[in-house]
Structure 1
Amino acid sequence: MSLLLVLLFAGMLVIGVPVAVSLGLSAAVTIMAFGLPVNVLAQRAVNALDSVQLLAVPLFILAAGLLSAMGVTGHMFDLVRMLVGRVRGGVAQVTVLVNLIFSGISGAALADIGALGKIQIDQMVGQGYRKDFAAGLTIAAATIGPIFPPSIPIIIYASVTNVSAVQLLIAGIVPALLITVFLMIQIGFIAAFRSLPRDDARPAAAAILRQAVFTFPALVTPVLLIAGLLSGWFGPTEVAAVTVAYALLIGFGVYRTLTWRAVWDSLLETVDATANILFIVASAAVFAWVLTLDRVPALAGSFLLGLSDNPLVLLFLVNVLLLLVGMVLESIAAILIIAPIVAPALHAAGVDPLQLGIVFVLNLMIGLLTPPVGMSLYMVSIIARMPVHTVVRGCAPFLVSLLISLAVVSAVPAVTTWLPQSLGK
């Protein structure tokens, strides 16, 4: 049964059928071929969507859309550029820092690229950076977004594996900072060896202060979100709703750049993005049910534990698997299909659920940089008007920092577990 399911799914992907349709249709055909009750299709799909945690997904998408509609992203970039842009390779360093800041709002790599990508690439190219370098760094820096809270992939992973979404979101803070540091160190080395340009901006202290005051209400957004999670005042769904309310407040009351037309457009974009995500969630739930019925998770768990009972060895094997899967499968679909299969076995072997969740998501975010299905590559190719192979060439050096970050997170559980455990105590 599982063989037919996987063959149908792979065949549909090869001929270009969308992932969500491939998941649902292959499961439906398998269910009918083996005489299973057809009503399970609707039952499993609806049950998968009946989740309070998943309510955070459209709310975070809406919050990011509202903040982008205000036009504050450019001001964020300008402020950070004024503060740290004068070092060699400064605009590249600013690109990484701004992505860290905006990641506390968006929760998705593609949202970061959509909001910041053109600004970042234009600024770097205008300063004399190579265009492929600018495009590659923009994509690499966007991987911080899905690791730092709020993170839509982390919320979906938590809902699938029954891990606390709040703890898992908090567990992503230190790894996201680690990725930021490694990328900035790499840029520092590249700046020294390639003599990257210095920023030509020389703002006065008064100009920096004005920009800081203007940008402050937007910068408070990620602080509000993280403080709510760390304090325990809000769960992920509540903090998402508070973020939307705060975005509306500053958009209409402080900046006064938000219009009802922009709100309506943000709502439409939210519906479109949420429908795509939840369609995959519902289809993958039926797909996973067929695998479970055929005891694939149990067999996979036995196979993994038969290879080794060393948590580090098992994490290494899962890393290799996920890096390969990330090349050919969309990240949310990969989480929904693979996490229920491998997570129980690794938990049984002693891998901390929080560490595994961050390792899982980080692997798949690296997959956004790798062809043939790396969505970030194609998005930046459109934004920068560059061939995809040139974007891939620009991305390749930054895989070093991302893979080192992945190795550290995999080898040192405390990187992910220290902060949630400290707050728990």
Structure 2
Amino acid sequence: MTIAVIAMLCVLFVLLFAKVPVFLAVFGAAAVYFLLTPGLNAAIFAQQAITGTESIPLLAIPFFVAAGVLMNNAGVTQRIMNLAIVLTGRLRGGLAQVNVVLSLMMGGLSGSALADAAMQSKILVPAMVKQGISRTFSSVLTAASSIITPLIPPGIGLIIYGSIAHVSIGKLFVAGIVPGALLAVIMMFLVSRISKRRGYEPLRTNRPKAREIAGPLRHAVLPLCLPVIIIGGIRFGIFTTTEAGAVAVVYVVLLGLFYRKLKARDLLGGLKETIVTTASILLIIAAAATFSWILTREMIPQQFSQLIVGSIHNEWLFLLAVGAFLLIVGMFIEGNATMIVLVPLFAPIAATFGLDPIHFAMVFIFANTVGAFTPPVGTLMFVVNSITKTKTADFIREAVPFYALFGGFLLLLMFVPLLSTGLVNLLY
């Protein structure tokens, strides 16, 4: 490893720990490498950054971000929440169960854990507190349930991983359905146990009648068709992942007009938010492209692969090592930065061990997302706490059962590949 590479990595980690924005940290580290490497044309720096964003699949990001942003303005969120309330009203915990189900349903629409956490912190947490559920538990559950969202198509993390590792984004979309749904069921069971111990009562004691379900279901059926349209269209070759994003935007806008909820100012505000969010994501991807080029030039993935393969001789031990490493790294470094640095390193090694790329992708994405829930840098934790005014120390104490749940679920994802690949193999 050269002096330039060592200096680059040192600068990268110093800037990340100093909480410098991810794209600036990665660009800054890459710039140090170019400055310290004699004879290296600086124009390559710009070329790689630009080339990294010149990818057709990445066009899906602004489309799905726009669809997620416009949903609240189109009245979609409230309709889905009304359905979730009817479906889970008899379960212990009441609105706590609604919190989990809403994340599962919204996952097929928004694609962003942070967007889901922020939305539910504003809409559901105050209602949960009024129901008698503690503010701290409401905040923890909101952050925890939002981890379901990146697993459900069209999760932005799935698109970014697929672009970096050159894995089919359409297959990743399908792969996330079963793990996302299973995680929601397990989380609802945990919520039920905690609610029973604490006396959090259900919203209703009687079974809802057919007509009580029919009304909210009728109002929510059109929004819930969107994930089916996306997955079905991609699977049967009607449109690509990118075109599916455009279809999602058009569909949400038409819903907003049909419900007479989407005004011109809402549309303009949504587009502005989409531009800001997309720019931040693409800057990270541009930085990742430059960083990946440097790693490839220095043959670091190959050296790292030889080191891992030489010391670990079993694919299951490798998965355990990667999972543990990602959980530890996630405690200190933001998730997008982790993906940028580690996907180009670990994905080739996983292929060397013969691991299915879809299986490894789901393990990586879930472990990486859990990092956003853990201190001291957990972005989900800070977003929720800033909205609900919850103390970090209280959040961490309340989150212990969920840390255990996520650890167990990660092991399940590792050692039962069929959870990730079964539906993919069936459909493809």
User: Shorter-normalised TM-score: what interval?
Assistant: over 0.9
Q: Deviations over 1:317-364 (max 9, x none)?
A: 100111112122222221121101111111111111001111111011
1:26 aligns with 2:29: yes
Q: Does 1:64 align with 2:68?
A: yes
Per the normalisation by structure 2, the TM-score is 0.95
What is the correspondence of 1:7-18 to structure 2 with a 5 Å cutoff?
7-18=10-21
Deviations 1:112-159 (Å, cap 9, x if unpaired)?
112222222122211111111111111111001101100111111111
Q: CA deviation at 1:166?
A: 0.7
| Deviation of 1:394 (Å) | 2.9
Residues 1:361 and 2:365 aligned together: yes
CA offsets, 1:240-292, max 9 Å, x none? 1111110111111x201001111111111011001111111111221222222
Residue type of the alignment partner of 1:298: Q
Task: Give the drift of 1:215.
Answer: 2.6
State whether residues 135 and 394 of structure 1, in contact with CA within 8 Å, keep that contact through their aligned partners in structure 2.
no
- In structure 1, give the amino acid aligned to 2:13: A
Whether the 8 Å CA contact 2:93–2:191 is kept in 1: the answer is yes
Aligned equivalent of 1:231:
236
Give distance in 2, aligned partners of 1:147 and 1:16.
26
**Could you say which residue in structure 2 is the equivalent of 1:288?**
292
Question: May I ask how many residue pairs the two structures share in their alignment?
Answer: 423
Find the residue that maps to 1:146 and give its secondary structure: helix
Q: Which of the numbers 29, 48, 57 marks the counterpart of 1:44?
A: 48
Over aligned residues, Cα RMSD in angstroms? 1.7
Counterparts of 1:205 and 1:47 in 2: how far apart (Å)? 55
SS of the residue corresponding to residue 108 of structure 2 reads helix
Shift in Å, 1:11: 2.0
Residue 350 and residue 230 in structure 1: after superposition, are their counterparts in 2 closer, same or farther (change >3 A)?
same
CA contact (8 A) 2:22 2:336 kept: no
Aligned to 2:214: 209
For 1:169 and 1:75, how far apart are their aligned partners in 2? 24
1:393 Cα offset (Å): 2.7
Q: Which whole-Å deviations, capped at 9, do the CAs of 1:44-85 have from their partners, x for residues lacking one?
A: 101110111111011000001111112331232122112221
- Paired amino acid for 1:288: S
Say which SS state the counterpart of residue 149 (structure 2) adopts: coil
Structure 2 residues without counterparts, runs of 5 or longer? none
1:144 match: secondary structure: helix
Does the aligned pair in 1 maintain the 2:85–2:95 contact within 8 Å?
yes
In 2: Cα distance, 1:165 partner to 1:185 partner = 31
Correspondence for 2:390: 386
Post-superposition offset of 1:216: 2.5
Q: Residues 16 and 333 of structure 2 are in contact (CA less than 8 Å); yes or no, is this contact kept in structure 1?
A: no
Question: Aligned to 1:328, what secondary structure does the other structure show?
Answer: coil
In structure 1, what is the Cα distance between the partners aligned to 2:236 and 2:150? Answer: 21
- Aligned pairs for 1:155-304 (under 5 A) are 155-200=159-204, 206-252=211-257, 254-304=258-308
Name the CA distance, whole Å, in 1 between partners of 2:92 and 2:14: 50
Aligned-pair identity in percent equals 35
Residue matched to 2:345: 341
Using the alignment, how far apart are the partners of 2:209 and 2:422 within structure 1? 41
Q: Which amino acid aligns with 2:28?
A: L
- For residues 397 and 409 of structure 1, what CA distance do their matches in structure 2 show? 18
Q: Given the superposition, is the C-alpha separation of residues 423 and 15 from structure 1 closer, same or farther in structure 2, using an over 3 Å criterion?
A: closer
For structure 1, the 5+ residue unaligned runs are none
Alignment match, 1:117: 121
- Aligned partner of 2:8 among 5, 10, 14: 5
